[in-house]
Every structure is written in C-alpha cells, then in structure tokens.
Amino acid sequence: MNIYDFTVKDQKGEDCSLSKYKGKVLLIVNTATKCGFTKQYSELEELYEKYADQGFEILDFPCNQFFHQAPGSDEEINSFCSLNFGTKFPRFKKVEVNGDNADPLFVYLCKQNEKGKVKKVKWNFTKFLIGKDGNFVERFEPIAKPSSFEEKIIAELKK
C-alpha cells in the first residue's frame, strides 16, 4: 500500500484519486488559516513555484481539529490562501487528521515512521514528504519551516 491507493475529496467534494500524482514528489500538509504557523503558506508557495515544473506537488488539507483554527467553508479557506499568500497548489476538502473521524490518508501517514507505531499529528502544518514511488520518505513537524527541508525535496526530485 502507498499514497496512490487513496482517494480524497477535492474542494468541490468530488473524489480525487491520488494516483493522478504518480511519479511526482509530494508534500502533504494539514493546514489552518488562523494558526501561528499560517505564514508557512508563503514558503510553501515559494517551494511550489520553484519545483512544480520538476514534478513537485503540495497537497493542502485544511484541518479545523486543533482549537478551531481553520474556520470557514472550503471556499472561504481557498479564497483566504489565494488572496493572502498567492497559493496555487491543490487544496482539498477540510479533514480531520486524528481520532475516530480521521481521514484514511492521515491514518496511513501517521503509521509511517521509523518505529512503526502510530504517531498522531500534533498540530497544524505537519508535513509528510512522499517520494516519486508513492512511498513515505519523511515527516516534518509544524515548527519545521518548509525551507529547512528544501534539500530533501531536491534529493527526491533527482531520484
């Protein structure tokens, strides 16, 4: 099993198979518009603009699970991100990342670590790097600025 086995909901609520991203390096992020880390959208967009033409995609999953820091509809969130940060990378429907209602994609991602135990998402802007083969590469916690792991993205793009 890998990322390509999952289907998620796009902003319009329609099914989107992640297999459409086969062969690309992915950064999957749970985000929030009213979080102290929201300014990371700027760095995420910079990385996206630099590497999208080389096969890099950022998949943005808004999450209102942590102190309701992603209020508003999916459309309002998209508008906020586009207007305030100029984001162009794909954004999906709001999800839960932990608990009984966690999206299956995030259940899978939380199991991908060196110890094999479930490692819950601690907060907004947890980032998961996925290789071109659809397999988990590395997890970056919210405090990790996107620019701090740019070299790892480049290394995956060169594979």
Query: Nearest 5°: CA angle at 151, between 140 and 27?
Result: 45
Instruction: Write the CA distances from 131 to 33, 94, 135, 153, integer angstroms.
Output: 27, 24, 6, 9
d(CA 24, CA 14): 22
- Note whether 47 and 58 are within 8 A (CB): yes
d(CA 53, CA 14): 26
Q: Write out the catalytic residue numbers.
A: 35
d(CA 86, CA 79): 9
Cα atoms in the 13 Å half-sphere on the side-chain side of 159: 17
